[in-house]
Chains A and B, each alone.
Chain A
Amino acid sequence: MNLVNEWAFIGVFVAVAWIFPTLPIVVAAIFSPKRANAIKLQTYECGVETVGDTWVQFKVQYYIYGLVFLVFDVELVFLFPWAVAYDRLDLFGFVAGVIFIALLLEALIYAWRKNALEWV
């Protein structure tokens, strides 16, 4: 199969795969009763009315983990071509990979030493 066909498959796949999870929801919409009232539509908080805005500021720790993740994720993408070509590489290719991964580890050690990985 050529490259165009591969991605044509994925394209058709995405289009068709939408249908199957949507189908039960549509069927349910037809058969299910619709008797909504103001109390039913309330935000669920064990019967107590919710206080204030829900979309509040979040804990900064989540953001820091997000940043550390970004460092790794971007670098990891570059490791995949290295891994695919590994059988054709010599010892220098291995050393280059080690140096690259060492740079990656350095970022982790830096974050670790800066206590970015502590849950505060």
Chain B
Amino acid sequence: MQCTDILNTTAACLTAGGMNPGLAQFIGILFGVIIVTLAPLLIVILLIWVERKFAARVQDRIGPNRVGPLGLLQTVADALKLITKEDITPAGADRLIFNLAPIISVLAVILMWGVIPVSPYHVGVELSIGVLYIVAVGSVGTLAIMMAGWSSNNKYALLGAFRVVAQLVSYEIPMVLALLVPVLLAGSMNLQDIVRAQSGMWFVVLCPIGLVLLFISTQAETGRAPFDLIEAESELVAGFNIEYSGMKFGLFFAGEFVHVMTNGLLIATLFMGGWWGPLAYEAPLLGILWLFAKATIFYLFSLLLRAALPRVRIDQMMSFNWKFLVPLAVWNVLVTAGLWMFARGLIPEGSEGDFLANLPAALIMFVGNVVLVGGFVLSRIRAAGRSERMANSKKSVPGRAIVLANADKGMASVNATVGR
């Protein structure tokens, strides 16, 4: 590696300066690690502000506006407040696991940032199994919430933990199946390769339903509305985090907010071309901007869902996953694989980065995906609606017939009056 600038090739520069190559390499890695770790933690300060402002606007409120310009420093003030709050570990709790859980919940999210490429040249590490790494690290977050619920020694918290196991584990299936699509289209699990493979055409065009599936299942994985059963305030008081106070409570929320943004980054990377955009190669900073702009769309949409949708019941959530999302995700993979088998032949050799050369294949993929997978969705929804109508019409509603008869009589008398 050549020493070009200190930020990108730290190790090479230090070696050139006469340092022991092993030590230089280590410092280079450490330097990268600290940047990747600090980024999500600094961004969360802004994210919490955005979330609160956005929710306030939806509910016709102003939101935080006192601390700092536009209330931007509200999160800092809140963090200071949380630090000075008394931190209670209940007498019955399992102390070690109880204290470890909030740390792990944030850690799991931060670890995901290590493989997400933010520009053509800037990525924590180009892991050859990046997608699997994301899934693996994501499940550690599930573990953290389970640890919190179990170790609290509180029945509400434990109920929350039960739901976590059922919900997060179930929604991992459609998520992994949706992640399979970009891997299949790009032929690599390296996230940087996946982004480069989208230079000609974003995968959202090749497989639009895959993006929808990934969005819904990541939404459930994060435990966000309408899937926020793990902390259902109205039934479980606060769910898994009921016994937490002070900074530990704050860390769970920081972890959740960063997770939503991480989901946005992941969807943008896998389906929306990541850092790809005009001048991404010439100005890497612009690449970072493109990536975050795309991720923000999904972040804001997630906030909108949270503000607009009521919470689902657990049986509805589980049957929605197993009887609808999983078959849909499997069918989506099959359709994409089948169409790609033929459509990839339409792209001339060596013109993978050319938009126009990709267009015919992409059109076939898009129409095929929407018709075949969208048709499946429609047929399932219609079947569900039909069975519900059948169930309703079989039920005899006492009193309904009488009301109808009386209404007929009433209409008859009205008609008679008008006629006379």
Contacts and interface: CB of A to CB of B under 8 A. Distances in A.
B41 interface: yes
Nearest to A25: B247
Size range of the chain A interface in the assembly: 35 or more
A10 B83 contact: no
A44 B246 contact: no
Interface string A23-46: 011011101111110101111111
Contacts of A117: 318-319, 322-323
Interface string B154-170: 11101000100110011
Given A40-B88, A66-B169, A117-B319, A10 B180 contact: no
B341 interface: yes
Interface in A41-71: 41-46, 50, 54-56, 58-59, 61-62, 65-66, 68-69
B322 A43 contact: no
Contact of B33 (A9, A98, A112): A9
A31 B169 CA distance: 38
A69 B84 contact: no
A56 B79 CA distance: 36
A80 interface: yes
Given A18-B103, A117-B322, A86 B184 contact: yes
Interface string A92-109: 001001100100110010
B169 to A, nearest CB: 5
Contact of B126 (A1, A54, A59, A69): A1
A6 to B, nearest CB: 5
Contacts of A28: 82-85, 87, 246-247
Contacts, number: 218
Contact of A31 (B36, B84, B183): B84
Interface in B74-120: 79, 82-92, 99, 102-103, 106-107, 110-111, 114
A72 B326 contact: yes
Interface string B301-344: 00000000000001100110011001100100110011011001
B327 A91 contact: no
Nearest to B108: A17
Contacts of B124: 9, 13
Contact of B188 (A5, A18, A84, A111): A84
B189 interface: yes
A119 interface: yes
A21 B34 contact: no
A54 to B, nearest CB: 5
B172 A105 contact: no
Contacts of A46: 237
B172 A43 contact: no
B24 to A, nearest CB: 12
A5 to B, nearest CB: 7
Contacts of B86: 32-36
A97 B110 contact: no
A36 B93 CA distance: 14
Given A72-B326, A101-B334, A83 B183 contact: yes
14 contacts: A10-B133, A13-B114, A17-B107, A20-B106, A21-B107, A44-B90, A44-B154, A44-B242, A55-B153, A62-B162, A87-B187, A91-B341, A98-B337, A119-B319
Which 3 A-B residue pairs are closest in the complex by CB-CB distance? A119-B315, A28-B247, A21-B106
Interface of A: 1, 3, 5-6, 8-10, 12-14, 16-18, 20-22, 24-25, 27-29, 31-36, 38, 40-46, 50, 54-56, 58-59, 61-62, 65-66, 68-69, 72-73, 76-77, 79-80, 83-88, 91, 94, 97-98, 101, 104-105, 108, 111-112, 117-119
